[in-house]
Amino acid sequence: MTGRDWARMERLMGTLERMRLDEYVEHISNRRRLVLDNLLYGVFRGLGFTLGFSVLGALLAVLLRSLVVDNIPLIGGFLAEVIHAIEARM
């Protein structure tokens, strides 16, 4: 190998170290840890979706209720029926 080849090899080694490729390969090869990490990721993602949907649904219900209270013509009656149907199922 020439000096130029060694320099390229050193640059490549530095790049691989910055990418932390060895840690990634170790993580992928440990199946138990990989399954546990993905399971926890899925659980927390599901909780996030559930909490987000609940908050947005509550805000929408409050907004619809305020529209019905204001009694906007044409849609006030329709929204009242929708809210009563939602409350009946809860």
pTM score, whole prediction? 0.51
Phi, psi of 18 (to 5 degrees): -70, -30
Does residue 67 contact residue 81 with C-beta atoms inside 8 Å? no
Q: Could you read off the pLDDT tens digit of each residue along the chain, which spans 90 residues?
A: 777 888 888 888 888 788 887 788 888 888 898 899 999 999 999 999 999 999 999 999 888 888 766 766 666 677 778 888 888 887
Question: HSE of 21 in the Cβ direction (CA atoms, 13 Å)?
Answer: 7
